[in-house]
Structure 1
Amino acid sequence: MSDFDVGARLKAIREDSGLSQRELAQRAGVTNGLVSLVERNKTSPSITSLRKILEILGMTLAEFFDSGAPADPGRFVFRHDELTEINPGRIYLSAGADALKALSLRRAGKQGQTNLLLLYETYDPGADTGEEAYSHEGEEGGFVIEGELLLSVGDTTEILRAGDAYLFDSRLPHRFRNVTQKRCVVVSAATPPTF
Structure 2
Amino acid sequence: MENINIGKKVEQYRKSNDLSIRELANQAEITPSMLSQIERGIANPSIQTLKVLAKVLNVPTFSFLLEEVNTEELVVRSNNRRKMVIDNLSYELVTPDISGKLATAIMTFPPGSTSSEKLLEHKGEEAAFVLEGHIRINLEGEEYLLETGDSVKIPSQMKHRWINDFSKEATILFSVTPPSF
Counterpart among 93, 97, 100 of residue 110 in structure 1: 97
Larger radius of gyration: 2
- Counterpart of 1:81 in 2: which secondary structure? helix
Q: Which runs of 5+ in 2 are unaligned?
A: 1-68
Q: Which amino acid aligns with 1:160?
A: L
What percent identity do the matched residue pairs reach?
26
Asked if 1 retains the 8 angstrom alpha-carbon contact of 2:112 and 2:164, the reply is yes
TM-score, normalising length from structure 2? 0.57
Question: How far, CA to CA, are the matches of 1:86 and 1:171 in structure 2?
Answer: 24
Show CA shifts across 1:26-78 (max 9, x none): xxxxxxxxxxxxxxxxxxxxxxxxxxxxxxxxxxxxxxxxxxxxxx8422221
SS at match of 1:166: strand
The answer to whether structure 1 residue 177 and structure 2 residue 163 are counterparts is yes
Q: Which residue of 1 aligns with 2:125?
A: 139
- Whether 2:180 is the aligned partner of 1:189: answer no
Give 1:155 shift.
Answer: 1.9
Structure 1: 5+ residue runs without aligned partners?
A: 1-71, 91-99
Cα distance in 2, alignment partners of residues 73 and 160 from structure 1: 38
Amino acid at match of 1:177: I
1:137, distance to aligned residue in structure 2 (A): 1.0
User: 54, 76, 82: which is aligned to 1:78?
Assistant: 76
**Secondary structure at the residue paired with 2:113?**
coil
Partners of 1:177 and 1:83 in 2: how far apart?
A: 25
Q: In structure 2, what is the Cα distance between the partners aligned to 1:156 and 1:73? A: 44
Q: Which amino acid aligns with 1:132?
A: K
| Count of residue pairs brought into register by the alignment | 111
User: Residues of 2 paired with 1:73 and 1:139: CA distance?
Assistant: 27
Mapped to 2, the partners of 1:136 and 1:194 lie a distance apart of: 7
Partner amino acid, structure 2, of 1:80: S
Say whether residues 1:121 and 2:124 are aligned partners.
Answer: no
Q: Hey, what does 2:149 align to over in structure 1?
A: 163
